Structure 1
């Protein structure tokens, strides 16, 4: 039996979170992974155990705007009472969205605003790292009790975009535990039912730059792109009629659907020059019921119908990011994780609702590699400004996640 489990150490969590947020890891470009791995190893060194770094080969992930080594870190802490136990992998992605505009506080400094902890990555998902560290510290201080799992911690790259997220590389090259706990999820009472897939597709149109006073000497790539984007808007209406059987979140009006959005556009630099190149990015959320190859072919055909007869000198379509869907992730530990969270949140198990998501997960690659059973938790909530200005988590959510991890890993009366 465990001795009394200490209360969460809020001050230590806040201090650790400040260090993690200050070690900026925006993706793109993704050039901060090495320094972040150094910091994580230092913060978890008190537990002992093993540390392994796995680097993704450059040719698998490299793309426009990306730089730096893709360093993934696997830690197996040496906790009392865990030798010989079945392993449970606890997953974190170490990149964040770029800071972006509109912040009321410095984005890479944690600001405590009446229990709200603002900063890029506090909710998505560096706060989860300090909550797990707190849970492991509390279990270590409670003696060698009835542990159920030996935790393996996976700190992974390129969840926020790119062609080859770190957890994919680990799943395809490394033997991972059968129980996978993904903390890139919600702090709400939810049982994960899966999610849709996502393609990022970058289209590059090549024209010919010229002085805007003599446009006949050039080929305006921006103007050529306009009818292409209008055709994609027509396709958008068709795509977004497609529904999935995945159960929708309780706050969504109607079923989950496929999505198509133009998410980035760039052409030209000043008013006196005809742009010789235009590049735009499409994000296509696709359902498990759709065929991956057909999704890409539909977009390519829509673009080609406009560009193959245009004045463009050349055009290219490149997949710059891909996350497959996650389907039916339930397994042997689903009930245990739900009970642990219910106890941590002081809620009945009946309060937990099973639903999916219109957002996507790099764990789709893990399922493609053959591992089906996945759990989801974390610090995100609809109001937490994830990927937006003034992202935040709360002290309460950090403490409840620490409790849930402790209850999941151990039998605590």
Structure 2
């Protein structure tokens, strides 16, 4: 173990180079067109480690909706090797959010600034893949016996998709009972669960005419102007929703977690010479575990119907285009060992750990529902200053090294056997 820990530090630049290759594959969702290409890259990187791979596509009937944002095959990749040890799933979502305006560098070309590795998905969560591959190479290079057979799960559409890949894999009984999810933080955190979210596409239809005829009787119907009562009503609803406080514990020194409604995207019109006939609005609703999805959706749909009815001639259609269930308390018997591994990798003191949830969301609520299993371990490279989902997203070489060392410790047979609930003596 000591030699392997040093090996990780000595080969971190190789992991950084692989992260650069991952960032260069555009897997932004929506639309999610790069999943096949990313699976090909992962197959290349895991083959020298002796992993067999299988691609599992989510059937189009489960995620395709009229005018929805997703397109292209939803290619999930499972990489495994079996020696008869208990399986440990290592989960990654391969999609990123689209690059927002404001990047000062090419978001799909990793830039290195000292220890900083800057690029779209560097922290969330392609850097985690680089770290875990580094840990597995160290184990092989230094002869570290593992307590578990790792099963790598490279999954699609976590960033608000309608049918995330891990949901489909869980429903097909392809997800191990024991899973490390790297969609989280590098902080000393015990995960308490998280909110759910859903995205609704609202399409408001007017009538196009020449813009010079727009002010005359019968001169078209401006969908953008007609949507103003709806936008105002949604702003009122947003404030009302924000008063709903969850009992989920917030991060340390942060205010209580509350429900949220965001007007996330808006598109309408084509040119100055036309009265716009279509406005598309995407709403993002983050709902607390105490709320029912059906009630939250019905509340929004009611506001939409009542607002559009005030503008004669307008019509509206709504479609659900994304949904992640809340994740219930994911505690279980493996958490003490994972906390000890985080201490070994990142240097945290055991007493530094705090338990909190988040209004950010996970696709593991679907796993809990599909399998009936609650425990999900959480780690990752997220930190408050890493610009996750924003221009300039980055991770660091030290954090990649620390996460690799934590994962190596967790998987190693001789690390804290007293905390391994899968040993025969523990099971008896």
2:130 corresponding residue in structure 1: 130
Deviations 1:120-142 (A, max 9, x none): 11111111111000101111122
* 1:205 equivalent in alignment to 2:204: yes
Among 361, 365, 373, the residue aligned to 1:371:
373
The answer to whether the 8 A contact 1:205-1:312 is kept is no
Deviations 1:92-126 (A, max 9, x none): 01111112322222211111101100011111111
Counterparts in 2 of 1:82-231, with a 5 A limit? 83-143=83-143, 145=145, 147-215=146-214, 216=217, 217-231=219-233
1:71 corresponding residue in structure 2: 75
Partners of 2:81 and 2:340 lie apart in 1 by: 24
Counterparts in 2 of 1:286-297, with a 5 A limit? 286-297=287-298
Residue 304 of structure 1: CA displacement?
1.0
Tell me: CA distance 1:312–1:7, structure 2 relative to 1, closer, same or farther (3 Å). Answer: farther
Residue 144 of structure 1: CA displacement?
5.1
Partners of 2:28 and 2:2 lie apart in 1 by: 41
The answer to whether the 8 A contact 1:224-1:312 is kept is no
For this pair of structures, how many residues does the alignment match?
406
2:360 is paired with a residue of what secondary structure?
Answer: coil
Partners of 1:295 and 1:137 lie apart in 2 by: 46
2:26 is paired with a residue of what secondary structure?
Answer: coil
Partners of 2:347 and 2:28 lie apart in 1 by: 35
Residue 28 of structure 1: CA displacement?
1.5
Q: Which moved more, 1:264-273 or 1:192-201?
A: 264-273
Partners of 1:144 and 1:401 lie apart in 2 by: 17
1:246 corresponding residue in structure 2: 248
The answer to whether the 8 A contact 2:160-2:198 is kept is no
1:266 corresponding residue in structure 2: 267
Counterparts in 2 of 1:343-354, with a 5 A limit? 343-354=344-355
TM-score, normalisation: structure 1: 0.95
Partners of 2:253 and 2:156 lie apart in 1 by: 30
The answer to whether the 8 A contact 1:196-1:286 is kept is yes
Partners of 2:313 and 2:73 lie apart in 1 by: 36
Tell me: CA distance 1:136–1:312, structure 2 relative to 1, closer, same or farther (3 Å). Answer: farther
1:55 corresponding residue in structure 2: 57
5+ long unaligned stretches in structure 2 = 416-428
2:3 is paired with a residue of what secondary structure?
Answer: coil
1:192 is paired with a residue of what secondary structure?
Answer: strand
The answer to whether the 8 A contact 1:259-1:285 is kept is yes
2:257 corresponding residue in structure 1: 256
Deviations 1:265-323 (A, max 9, x none): 11112222211111101111101111111111111111111123422442111111111
Among 396, 402, 406, the residue aligned to 2:404:
402
The answer to whether the 8 A contact 2:223-2:314 is kept is no
